[in-house]
């Protein structure tokens, strides 16, 4: 009897893995922006065409890559960010799986230009469907540019599944918001179809929020601040009178990473108890810093959910901190005469 089990060729394995990492243009935007942040860039540009369906480019002035690394970065599980399993518990970077670029290159046409400070020449690579077609030396500034074209060119079903440009742009903006709010010390700009839609100069957290969501936001923000051994908290919560019917700007960041947490959302909402009209949703921008060994980020490929060692303590501290700030700013309870 002959055996029938075979190892899949790399390009097939990559295409399967890509299904998890790359769901839509916004997933590419997220991965490329995070890589630029990890590369210690102080200036990052996001350029898209047709809501990312035809083109997504991220240009950074970070550390760049060597000629060899520029090829290696497209390999699966190729990463400069962790070396062993223990490193997973002391993460200081956005990435660590070494999967994003391999996945993107499996389902799109990618052009990479990169140069390290110390190198005289940079390198220019074109890769299509996981295959490097050319690699040439090039005169380049320090940093990296990834250009991603024709996403899902080889998976028509996925391509057809993409939503309207309005919807895809909305998803891209969500990812952009999450990264720029986490990193106010970095200049970010964004262009869609040749038009500048954001130009965010570096500044503090309040300035970043205000630049992103209009100047009217400023008067709505109440600062929060708390420091314990379990967690350090800073950021802003919206004054209750500005709460909206729809869930608007609600952001948690843990160690500079955007996360979703129904549990922590509940902590915040319970701090507003008695201050909001029924169904009203306050804005909040809450930054939590916790010792990296007390969280596990590795539970979901897109890393928006994480596990905390002591979730209950976090809940209590966060709730108290928000309550304290709302009280301090003399926010009177709303009397709901409508009922």
- Report the residue number, 25 or 95, with the smaller CB distance to ligand ADP: 95
- In whole angstroms, the minimum distance from the beta carbon of 331 to Mg ion comes to 41
- Report the residue number, 95 or 235, with the smaller CB distance to Mg ion: 95
- In whole angstroms, the minimum distance from the beta carbon of 35 to ligand ADP comes to 3
- In whole angstroms, the minimum distance from the beta carbon of 103 to Mg ion comes to 10
- With a CB cutoff of 8 Å and minimum separation 6, the contacts of 339 are 278
- In whole angstroms, the minimum distance from the beta carbon of 130 to ligand ADP comes to 13
- Report the residue number, 11 or 81, with the smaller CB distance to Mg ion: 81
| Integer angstrom CA distances of residue 64 from 40, 55, 185, 190, 199 | 10, 21, 19, 21, 23
Q: What residue ranges bind ligand ADP (CB under 6 A)?
A: 31, 35-36, 39, 60, 62-65, 73, 78-81, 95-101, 144
> What are residue 124's phi and psi, to 5 degrees?
-130, 120
Q: What residue ranges bind Mg ion (CB under 5 A)?
A: 35, 95, 100
With CB atoms as reference, the residue minimizing the distance to ligand ADP is 95
* DSSP letter (8 states) at residue 212: H
**Do the beta carbons of residue 264 and residue 314 sit within 8 Å?**
yes
Which of the choices ligand ADP, Mg ion, none does residue 60 contact, using the CB cut-off of 5 to 8 A by kind? Answer: ligand ADP
- Report the residue number, 65 or 318, with the smaller CB distance to ligand ADP: 65
Encoded tokens for 131: 């295959």
**Cα 89 → chain centroid:** 20
Which of the choices Mg ion, ligand ADP, none does residue 79 contact, using the CB cut-off of 5 to 8 A by kind? Answer: ligand ADP
Give the whole-angstrom CA distance, residue 190 versus residue 170. 13
- Report the residue number, 114 or 281, with the smaller CB distance to ligand ADP: 114
**Do the beta carbons of residue 42 and residue 61 sit within 8 Å?**
yes
């Amino acid at each position: 009897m002959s055996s029938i089990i075979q190892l899949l060729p790399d390009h097939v394995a990559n295409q399967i893995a890509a299904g998890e990492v790359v769901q839509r243009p916004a997933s590419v935007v997220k991965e490329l922006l995070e890589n630029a942040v990890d590369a210690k860039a102080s200036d990052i540009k996001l350029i898209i065409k047709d809501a990312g369906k035809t083109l997504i480019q991220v240009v950074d002035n970070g550390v760049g890559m060597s000629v060899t690394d520029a090829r290696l970065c497209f390999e699966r599980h190729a990463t400069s960010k962790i070396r062993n399993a223990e490193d997973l518990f002391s993460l200081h970077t956005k990435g660590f799986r070494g999967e994003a670029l391999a996945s993107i290159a499996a389902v799109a046409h990618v052009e990479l230009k990169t140069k390290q400070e110390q190198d005289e020449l940079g390198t220019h690579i074109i890769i299509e469907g996981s295959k490097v077609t050319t690699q040439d030396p090039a005169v380049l500034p320090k940093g990296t540019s990834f250009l991603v074209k024709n996403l899902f060119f080889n998976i028509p079903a996925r391509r057809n599944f993409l939503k309207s440009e309005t919807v895809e742009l909305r998803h891209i903006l969500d990812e952009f918001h999450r990264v720029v709010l986490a990193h106010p010390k970095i200049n970010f700009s964004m262009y869609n179809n040749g038009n500048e839609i954001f130009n965010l100069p570096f500044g503090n957290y309040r300035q970043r929020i205000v630049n992103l969501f209009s100047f009217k936001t400023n008067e709505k923000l109440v600062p929060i601040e708390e420091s314990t051994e379990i967690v350090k908290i800073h950021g802003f919560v919206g004054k209750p009178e500005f709460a909206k019917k729809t869930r608007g700007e609600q952001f948690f960041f843990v160690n500079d990473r955007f996360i979703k947490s129904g549990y922590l959302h509940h902590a915040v909402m319970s701090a507003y108890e008695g201050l909001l009209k029924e169904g009203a949703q306050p804005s909040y921008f809450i930054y939590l810093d916790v010792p990296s060994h007390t969280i596990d980020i590795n539970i979901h490929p897109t890393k928006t959910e994480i596990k905390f060692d002591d979730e209950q303590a976090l809940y209590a501290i966060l709730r108290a901190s928000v309550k304290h700030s709302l009280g301090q700013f003399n926010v009177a309870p709303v009397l709901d005469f409508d009922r």
